[in-house]
């Protein structure tokens, strides 16, 4: 008679129950691999419970007929091996998770299934033959000659797992690598121990330790998941990309950005807004069951797909078709506007950083475009390169003090003289090719260089004004971007500059667009009040472009509004344009706000604008932007020579 100790098994039951409780207690729907893991836990528990039951029936604590004893033991043998096989299949899927070799995974699963069926046949054959175990005439339990066959199957599966791991180790995640370093030696050690000390039941402990190791690796994987949608998060996406790039895989990656999602939040509330994001992830998973979905940003999703057989455009169309139709949540429906960008990686050398940069840039282009998806290739790649070159040119130019400030004189219609000027930044390539500020200013804002640039302009303007060479100018205006305007250092810095150069605050004017002002109206108003009380005046720039509205001009203390040159395109020929401009001028004057007309390019415009009472004129017809030395000469000559006729 064999004596058995059950204490280890009982402890294992408690651990397994805790694991089951914990892995069921997540709020997201379980993924396929979570379901397989939960099946492993269930089979592990069954196997241990059956084992204990069999111990009692064998030693006679629970008296059962011989046939039932045979049945229970056969079931125990089979369930134990089935559990090991499910776990092996699960491990194969984790090892091959990033290799995207469906065929290899299928082969591995068939291999495990064949082994399991073979063992099932052995269990059946055991009933007449007793090769695994048998009961003698007195009902005593005996081990058969192939009693350790189950261990043999386990050993073969383990060996196959190790081989599979070694073959795909480059694309195996770090967590999985840890599992593969720990699990096989531990299992082998415990099996040896079990064979040496058969009276201590260790099968349950082996199973439980395997489950525990997997659980720990599972847990850490959750750090890579997005808590709202249950799909991978940005970190998970990065990890996934780095594994694929390391093993030089070919794949397609699609980025989907939802447009104006704040409207959805406003319309349905944040809770339903979240539900729409959750639904977006599910839709993408449903459209591409073989792909992997990640929540890349707040309202951006990334899709990793196998390399397409064609050019991959059909996949983009599939997403567009789906998102043109409304998503339904209960009784609520919404059409989410999606913008798409994609990239085909054919195993070229990319780093994760460069790949993400390319994708984000392409999505940015798609967001600004007409709704067509943007693929990162050809033109997009060139544009990104140009941006990168520009940022490095700006850095270098800042260091080498190669930025220049030019001035565009502004005509004062009442005084009949150029009494003001706008400071405009200038940058050229080392070859002397000029680069438009309309191109480099937004880039400087994105790359954080705008601060240095703005302080450079401020310093230059103050130096110019204090030098006495442009005494004809009552003031010079500078443009401030969003970042400076909300910079807590702005007010002290301006104050310091005015003091250092002994200037009156009225000599410096600040131009901001409504885009700057609207960022944080409360803070903008506070900063403007502070500077206004010092005597600095403000211009509302680019009035009449997409960013302007009247309430901004009314609510904030602007002394002057600059009508954008786009308003002058049909002026003064078109009567509607005349009505608009004249109406605006009258309205602003009513509000005690002065008006500058920008982009005056013809004498006819200058005449008509002067006639309707516009206070200031700025444009190529009157004066182009010019360097400091040219400005000094220009002002001197303009004073002496015939003034422009307005």
CB of 573 to ligand C2E, least distance (A): 17
Work out the widest C-alpha separation in the chain, in whole angstroms.
Answer: 131
Per the CB < 8 A criterion, the answer to whether 605 and 582 are in contact is: no
By CB under 6 A, tell whether 479 contacts ligand C2E: yes
CB of 542 to ligand C2E, least distance (A): 6
Q: Which is nearer to ligand C2E, 264 or 458 (CB)?
A: 458
- Tokens coding 598: 């920008």
Per the CB < 8 A criterion, the answer to whether 363 and 306 are in contact is: no
Q: Under rule CB under 6 A, which residues in 108-137 are in contact with ligand C2E? A: none
Cα(426)–Cα(435) distance, rounded to whole angstroms? 7
Q: In sequence order, which residues have a C-beta less than 8 Å from that of residue 354 and are 6 or more positions away?
A: none
For residue 462, the partner it binds in Ca ion, ligand C2E, none, with Cβ less than 5 to 8 A by kind, is none
Cα(461)–Cα(454) distance, rounded to whole angstroms? 11
Q: Which is nearer to ligand C2E, 480 or 638 (CB)?
A: 480
By CB under 6 A, tell whether 601 contacts ligand C2E: yes
CB of 479 to Ca ion, least distance (A): 5
Q: In sequence order, which residues have a C-beta less than 8 Å from that of residue 418 and are 6 or more positions away?
A: 409, 410, 411, 412, 472, 473, 622, 623, 634, 635, 638
Binding site for Ca ion (CB under 5 A): 479, 511, 541-542, 598
- Which range of residues in 75-83, 192-200, 465-473, 475-483 is near ligand C2E by CB under 6 A? 475-483
Bridge partner residues of 344 (DSSP): 252
For residue 457, the partner it binds in Ca ion, ligand C2E, none, with Cβ less than 5 to 8 A by kind, is ligand C2E
CB of 439 to Ca ion, least distance (A): 16
Cα(22)–Cα(79) distance, rounded to whole angstroms? 23
Q: Which is nearer to ligand C2E, 123 or 510 (CB)?
A: 510
Q: In sequence order, which residues have a C-beta less than 8 Å from that of residue 127 and are 6 or more positions away?
A: 70, 74
Among 139, 184, 308, 437, binds ligand C2E (CB under 6 A): 437
CB of 451 to Ca ion, least distance (A): 18
Q: Under rule CB under 6 A, which residues in 602-621 are in contact with ligand C2E? A: 618-620
- Which range of residues in 51-59, 315-323, 339-347, 474-482 is near ligand C2E by CB under 6 A? 474-482
CB of 401 to ligand C2E, least distance (A): 15
Q: How far is CA 536 from CA 234, 554, 615, in A?
A: 45, 18, 18
Range 600-633 burial, b when 16+ CB lie within 10 A, else e? beeeebbebbbebebbbbbbebbbebbebeebbe
CB of 498 to ligand C2E, least distance (A): 18
By CB under 6 A, tell whether 481 contacts ligand C2E: yes
Among 565, 597, 605, 610, binds ligand C2E (CB under 6 A): 565
By CB under 6 A, tell whether 442 contacts ligand C2E: no
Bridge partner residues of 617 (DSSP): 411, 597
Bridge partner residues of 303 (DSSP): 254, 293
Q: Which is nearer to Ca ion, 40 or 462 (CB)?
A: 462
Q: Which is nearer to Ca ion, 300 or 564 (CB)?
A: 564
For residue 465, the partner it binds in ligand C2E, Ca ion, none, with Cβ less than 5 to 8 A by kind, is none
3-class secondary-structure state, position 481: coil
Q: Angle of helix 490-500 relative to helix 521-534, nearest 10 degrees? A: 20
Count the Cβ atoms, other than its own, within 10 Å of residue 558.
Answer: 25
- Which range of residues in 14-22, 352-360, 382-390, 431-439 is near ligand C2E by CB under 6 A? 431-439
By CB under 6 A, tell whether 460 contacts ligand C2E: no
- Which range of residues in 160-168, 307-315, 478-486, 627-635 is near ligand C2E by CB under 6 A? 478-486
Cα(407)–Cα(414) distance, rounded to whole angstroms? 21
Give burial (CB, 10 Å; 0-12/13-18/19+) of 641.
exposed
CA dihedral 149, 150, 154, 155 (to 10 degrees): -20
Q: Under rule CB under 6 A, which residues in 533-562 are in contact with ligand C2E? A: 541-542
By CB under 6 A, tell whether 74 contacts ligand C2E: no
Q: Which is nearer to ligand C2E, 40 or 478 (CB)?
A: 478
Least Cα distance to 338 among 375, 367, 314 occurs for 367
Q: Under rule CB under 6 A, which residues in 494-523 are in contact with ligand C2E? A: 511
Q: In sequence order, which residues have a C-beta less than 8 Å from that of residue 30 and are 6 or more positions away?
A: 23, 38
Cα(398)–Cα(63) distance, rounded to whole angstroms? 91
By CB under 6 A, tell whether 239 contacts ligand C2E: no
Among 12, 425, 461, 638, binds ligand C2E (CB under 6 A): 425
Residues that bind ligand C2E (CB under 6 A): 408, 424-425, 436-438, 441, 454, 457, 479-481, 511, 541-542, 565, 599-601, 618-620, 625
């Amino acid at each position: 008679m064999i004596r058995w100790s059950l204490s280890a098994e009982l402890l294992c039951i408690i651990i397994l129950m805790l694991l089951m409780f914990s892995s069921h207690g997540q709020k997201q729907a379980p993924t396929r691999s979570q379901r397989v893991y939960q099946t492993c836990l269930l089979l592990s528990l069954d196997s241990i419970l059956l084992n204990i039951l069999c111990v009692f029936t064998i030693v006679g604590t629970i008296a059962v007929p011989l046939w039932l004893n045979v049945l229970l033991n056969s079931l125990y043998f089979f369930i134990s091996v089935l559990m090991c096989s499910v776990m092996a299949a699960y491990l194969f899927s984790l090892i091959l998770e990033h290799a995207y070799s469906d065929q290899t995974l299928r082969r591995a699963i068939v291999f495990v299934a064949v082994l399991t069926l073979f063992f099932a046949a052995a269990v059946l054959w055991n009933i007449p033959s007793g090769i695994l175990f048998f009961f003698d005439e007195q009902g005593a339990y005996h081990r058969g000659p192939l009693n350790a066959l189950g261990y043999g199957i386990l050993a073969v599966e383990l060996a196959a797992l190790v081989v599979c791991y070694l073959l795909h180790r480059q694309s195996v995640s770090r967590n999985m690598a840890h599992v593969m370093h720990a699990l096989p030696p531990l299992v082998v050690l415990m099996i040896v121990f079990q064979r040496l000390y058969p009276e201590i039941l260790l099968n349950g402990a082996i199973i439980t330790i395997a489950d525990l190791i997997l659980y720990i690796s599972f847990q850490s994987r959750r750090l890579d998941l997005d808590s709202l949608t249950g799909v991978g998060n940005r970190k998970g996406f990065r990890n996934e990309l780095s594994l694929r790039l390391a093993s030089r895989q070919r794949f397609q990656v699609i980025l989907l950005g939802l447009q104006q999602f704040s409207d959805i939040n406003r319309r349905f509330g944040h809770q339903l807004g979240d539900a729409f994001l959750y639904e977006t992830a599910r839709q993408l998973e449903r459209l591409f069951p073989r792909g992997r979905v990640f929540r890349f940003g707040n309202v951006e999703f990334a899709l990793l797909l196998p390399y397409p057989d064609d050019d991959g455009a059909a996949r983009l169309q599939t997403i567009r078709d789906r998102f043109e139709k409304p998503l339904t949540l209960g009784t609520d429906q919404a059409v989410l506007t999606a913008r798409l960008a994609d990239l085909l990686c054919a195993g070229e050398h990319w780093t994760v950083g460069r790949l993400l940069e390319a994708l984000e840039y392409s999505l940015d282009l798609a967001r600004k475009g007409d709704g067509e998806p943007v693929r990162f290739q050809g033109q997009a790649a060139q544009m990104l390169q140009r941006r990168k070159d520009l940022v490095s040119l700006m850095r270098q130019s800042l260091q080498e003090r190669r930025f220049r400030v030019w001035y565009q004189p502004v005509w004062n219609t009442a005084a009949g003289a150029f009494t003001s000027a706008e400071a405009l930044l200038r940058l050229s390539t080392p070859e002397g090719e000029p680069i438009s500020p309309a191109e480099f200013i937004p880039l400087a804002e994105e790359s954080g260089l705008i601060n240095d640039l703005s302080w450079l302009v401020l310093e230059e303007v103050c130096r110019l004004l204090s030098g006495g060479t442009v005494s004809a100018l009552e003031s010079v205006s500078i443009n401030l971007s969003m970042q400076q305007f909300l910079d807590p250092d702005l007010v002290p810095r301006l104050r310091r500059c005015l003091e250092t150069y002994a200037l009156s605050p009225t000599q410096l004017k600040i131009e901001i667009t409504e885009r700057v002002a609207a960022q944080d109206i409360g803070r903008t108003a506070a900063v403007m009040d502070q500077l206004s009380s010092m005597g600095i005046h403000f211009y509302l720039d680019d009035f009449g472009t997409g960013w302007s509205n009247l309430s901004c001009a009314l609510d904030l203390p602007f002394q002057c509004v600059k009508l954008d040159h786009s308003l002058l395109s049909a002026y003064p020929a078109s009567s509607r344009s005349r009505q608009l401009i004249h109406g605006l001028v009258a309205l602003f004057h009513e509000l005690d706000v002065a008006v500058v007309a920008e982009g005056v390019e013809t004498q006819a415009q200058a005449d008509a604008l002067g006639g309707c009472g516009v206070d200031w004129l700025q444009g190529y017809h009157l004066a182009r932007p010019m360097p400091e030395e040219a400005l000094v000469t220009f002002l001197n000559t303009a004073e002496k020579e015939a003034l422009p006729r307005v």
